[in-house]
């Protein structure tokens, strides 16, 4: 039956099919909207929103027409990139591979990559927690990836090998778990030197043919954070001194004698006014003393902050 179906496809004219869109179902369960580019006895070349896909005619299971409008409205793949695992001091390589993979996926048309931490709040915490520890477990990735609304889940792991280290990249289509692929990238020194191989491998895990002009992202490795200049141990912390109940202390420590004199005068005038107002209020003697002290301290702190220089 499969051979007869493939032969019927071969009987169709390539030129007649070129401008027509089809919804194609494959043996591994994938359903691809595509424009058929060419058909031979051994392969069928499909132009999909994400790029070129090559399949065997024997893997065809169904093909239905699509209008150009329907094809144009196909949403992009939601590709969930799980945290990459790294062992034996290869955590830095795993982190680099994870960031690089996101950049590559961003450059592929009709692909919308996202991380577990970027999932919407509507996704329950238990699903997010499970996805963070899936590693390269396909069953975990498909089960929880479906709950997260992903079309494809991408995984990665760095491990030591006999000749150096190995980065394993993999992907699985959530609604078609049989559509999965893993590709290994072997490296001896720096993983960053294998960016071309990593780019091609990510295309391969998605069953895409890397275009001749595929973008190879360049990641800027962050330099060591700049050290924050610290004040000499003998230099006073003016922000803390501003809370000291000494009028003008901040101005004095900054050698601002005019500001120091002004601060003293402002606090003296303010204190006199507060004593006068408290004396005319219906306070008992202890209450009047407390209110005057509080008013004086508050005014002192205010003036000390006023004379702080940036």
pLDDT at 215: 84
- What is residue 152's predicted lDDT score, i.e. its pLDDT? 98
Question: Which class for 281: exposed (0-12), middle (13-18), buried (19 or more C-beta within 10 A)?
Answer: exposed
Q: What is the pLDDT of residues 109-138, one digit of tens each?
A: 999 999 999 999 999 999 999 999 999 999
Q: Residue written as tokens 């499970």?
A: 130
Query: Which one-letter DSSP state was computed for residue 129?
Result: H
Domain residue limits, the chain: 2-72, 77-205, 238-306
The whole-number pLDDT of residue 301 equals 58
Number of neighbouring beta carbons within 10 Å of residue 70: 12
pLDDT < 70: residue spans in the chain: 1-19, 219-261, 263-265, 267-310
Among candidates 291, 244, 254, which has minimal Cα distance to 271?
291
End-to-end CA distance of the chain: 82
Angle at 183 between CA 170 and CA 80, to 5 degrees: 20
For residues 125, 130, 133 and 134, what is the CA-based torsion angle, rounded to 10 degrees?
-140
- pLDDT of 138-174, one tens digit each? 999 999 999 999 999 999 999 998 889 999 999 999 9
The whole-model pTM stands at 0.68
Q: What is the pLDDT of residue 162?
A: 80
Please name which of 50, 30, 117 lies closest in space to residue 80, comparing C-alpha atoms.
117
What pLDDT, on a 0 to 100 scale, did the predictor assign at position 89?
85
Task: List Cα–Cα distances, 209 to 47, 54, 163, 200, 297, in angstroms.
Answer: 10, 7, 28, 8, 75
pLDDT of residue 302: 62
CATH number of 77-205: 3.40.50
Q: Helix, strand or coil for residue 236?
A: coil
Q: For 2-72, give the CATH class.
A: mainly beta
Distance from C-alpha of 97 to C-alpha of 201, rounded to nearest angstrom: 12
Same fold, 2-72 and 77-205: no
């Amino acid at each position: 039956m499969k051979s007869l179906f493939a032969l019927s496809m071969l009987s169709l004219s390539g030129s007649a099919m070129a401008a027509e869109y089809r919804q194609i179902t494959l043996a591994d369960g994938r359903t691809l909207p595509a424009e058929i580019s060419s058909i031979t006895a051994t392969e069928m070349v499909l132009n999909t929103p994400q790029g070129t896909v090559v399949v065997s005619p024997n893997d065809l299971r169904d093909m239905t027409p699509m209008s150009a409008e329907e094809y144009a409205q196909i949403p992009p793949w939601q590709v969930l990139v799980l945290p990459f695992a790294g062992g034996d001091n290869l955590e830095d390589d795993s982190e680099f591979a994870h960031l690089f993979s996101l950049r590559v996926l961003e450059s592929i048309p009709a692909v919308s990559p996202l991380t577990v931490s970027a999932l919407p709040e509507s996704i329950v915490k238990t699903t997010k927690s499970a996805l963070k520890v899936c590693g390269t477990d396909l069953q975990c990735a498909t089960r929880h990836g479906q709950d997260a609304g992903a079309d494809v889940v991408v995984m990665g792991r760095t491990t030591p090998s006999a000749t150096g280290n190995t980065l394993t990249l993999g992907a699985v289509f959530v609604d078609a778990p049989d559509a999965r692929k893993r590709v290994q990238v072997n490296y001896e020194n720096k993983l960053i030197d294998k960016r071309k191989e990593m780019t091609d491998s990510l295309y391969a895990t998605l069953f895409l043919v890397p275009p001749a002009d595929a973008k190879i992202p360049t990641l800027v490795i962050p330099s060591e954070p700049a050290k924050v200049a610290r004040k000499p141990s003998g230099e006073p912390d003016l922000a803390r001194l501003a809370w000291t109940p000494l009028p003008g202390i901040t101005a004095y420590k900054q050698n601002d004698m005019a500001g120091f004199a002004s601060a003293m005068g402002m606090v003296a005038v303010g204190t006199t006014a507060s004593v006068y107002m408290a004396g005319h209020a219906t306070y008992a003697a202890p209450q009047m003393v407390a209110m005057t002290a509080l008013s004086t301290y508050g005014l002192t702190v205010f003036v000390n902050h006023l004379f702080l220089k940036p």
